[in-house]
Amino acid sequence: MRKGRLLVVFFVLVLALACQVQARQRRIVVGFVQVGAESAWRTANTESIISEAKKRGIELKYVDGQQQQANQIKAIRSFIAQKVDVIGFSPVVTTGWEQVLREAKRHKIPVILVDRAVDCADDSLWVTLIGSDFVKEGRQAAHWLAGKMKGKASIFELEGTIGSAPTIDRKKGFQEVMKDYPEMKIIHSQTGDFTRSKGKEVMKAFLKEKGPCFDALFSHNDDMAIGAIQAMEEYGIRPGTDVIIVSVDAIRAAFEAMIEGKLNCTVECNPLQGRAFFDAVEAIVAGKTLPKKIPVEEGVFPQEVARDVLPIRKY
Ligand code: AHR
């Protein structure tokens, strides 16, 4: 009788241990909704996230938001319904997230912001933000341009997606530095929505209407700058010579344009955030505490270094 009871206790213990091991070995499931595929930067960011999930054996439910906030909100709601372990997303714009983030919190699903910030008073709605300092990028572009133009320029500004964190912050950083240079004036600002085609379209229309009344271009990303370069060439302007161009991202195509003498400087915005993202996911699942912001390292690349740097660019 006693032997029988001991045997039962033994089996219960073995079962409990097996359950524990299984729980520990359960695959982490992450839902991630991306902004879209608007730029080469974004493609590299997506690739970095998908490949890192594969490398770690993490199940990734990936959704392309196609530059629409409504699509991103729908995806977050579906991740909540599927009870994923962690939700990650790169918000297309900064506002309008409170409600859906509160829903995630109510269901105890932690949220990580990747690349872009949200404008929400309650910062308990997300665990951490992994991303660049966009204000600093705007300042760096402005400092470089002020030096190159010796403090005097008529600047065309190609803005990114209206209402997005990089557009708001790059503009802010750039304008902050401009205050120290009274002879550097932004003569026109217009959005190109971070895409090459819109950058070209905007520049083409402006040149047709007003002509080449500027000698510098600040573009919030390289893709729009490359589009604008094409429009300038078609108009008969020499980009990189008649118009000095600084943009942000530091994608390979920007280095190629610099080598051809058509672009003058690119400020890096590092899209390779997959590793930091899944480090954060695993830390959260393990019950660790994370800082509210996890920064990304980046630099500034003027035309002079393009030839040496291009062979080692990863995106
Ligand atoms: O949020 C980062 C920005 O988004 C990149 O600069 C731009 O290329 C992308 O679309």
User: Ligand 1 centroid vs 228 CA: distance in angstroms?
Assistant: 17
pTM: 0.92
Averaged pLDDT for residues 121-135: 98
How close is the Cα of 247 to the center of ligand 1, in Å? 11
Residue 6 or 96, more confident: 96
What would the mean pLDDT of 272-301 be, rounded to a whole number? 97
Which ligand 1 atom is the nearest neighbour of the CA of 194? 10
What are the pLDDT digits (tens) for 216-249? 999 999 999 999 999 999 999 999 999 999 999 9
- pLDDT above 90 covers a percentage of the chain that reads 91
Nearest by Cα to 137 from 268, 255, 42, 315:
268
Report the pLDDT averaged over residues 300-306: 97
- Here the tokens at position 120 are 């929400």
pLDDT surpasses 70 at 10: no
* Mean pLDDT value across the chain: 95
Q: What is the mean pLDDT of residues 128-140?
A: 98
Ligand 1: centre distance to CA 171 (Å) = 13
Distances from the Cα of 136 to the Cαs of 133, 139, 148, 286, 289, in angstroms?
A: 5, 5, 18, 33, 27
Please give the distance, rounded to the nearest whole angstrom, from the Cα atom of residue 78 to the centre of ligand 1.
Answer: 25
The ligand 1 site (C-beta within 6 Å) comprises 38-39, 41-42, 115-116, 166, 194, 221, 248-249, 269
Predicted confidence (pLDDT) at residue 21 exceeds the cutoff of 60: no
Q: Which ligand 1 atom is the nearest neighbour of the CA of 249?
A: 6
Q: Number of C-alpha atoms within 13 angstroms, CB side, residue 235?
A: 25
> Which numbered atom of ligand 1 lies nearest the CA of 40?
8
Q: Tokens for 33, please give them.
A: 């909704």
Ligand 1 center from residue 103 Cα (angstroms) = 27
Q: Which of 45, 135, 249, 270 to mutate to test the pocket of ligand 1 (most atoms within 8 A of CB)?
A: 249
CA angle, 227 then 254 then 211, to 5° = 35
Residue 165 CA, closest ligand 1 atom number: 1
In the chain the domains, ranked by start, together with CATH numbers, are: 27-131+271-297 (3.40.50.2300), 134-269 (3.40.50.2300)
Report d(CA 156, CA 192) in Å as an integer.
12
β-strands 184-191, 128-131 pairing: unpaired
Atom of ligand 1 nearest to the CA of 115: 1
Average pLDDT of the segment spanning 244-266? 98
| Residues contacting residue 285 through CB under 8 Å, at least 6 positions apart | 28, 85, 86
Q: What is the dihedral of CA 83, 84, 88, 89, to 10 degrees?
A: -50
Inter-residue contact 53 to 85 (CB < 8 Å): no
Pick the residue whose CA is nearest to atom 3 on ligand 1.
Answer: 166
Query: Looking up tokens 């401009």, which residue turns up?
Result: 178
Cβ-contact 66, 88 below 8 angstroms: no
Ligand 1 atom index nearest CA of 164: 1
Residue-wise pLDDT tens digits, 54-78: 999 999 999 999 999 999 999 999 9
Q: From ligand 1's centre to the CA of 183, what distance in Å?
A: 29
Report the alpha-carbon distance of residue 29 to residue 236 in Å, rounded: 53
* Distance from residue 165's CA to the centre of ligand 1 (Å): 9
Q: Could you report the per-residue pLDDT of 174-219, keeping only the tens digit for each?
A: 999 999 999 999 999 999 999 999 999 999 999 999 999 999 999 9
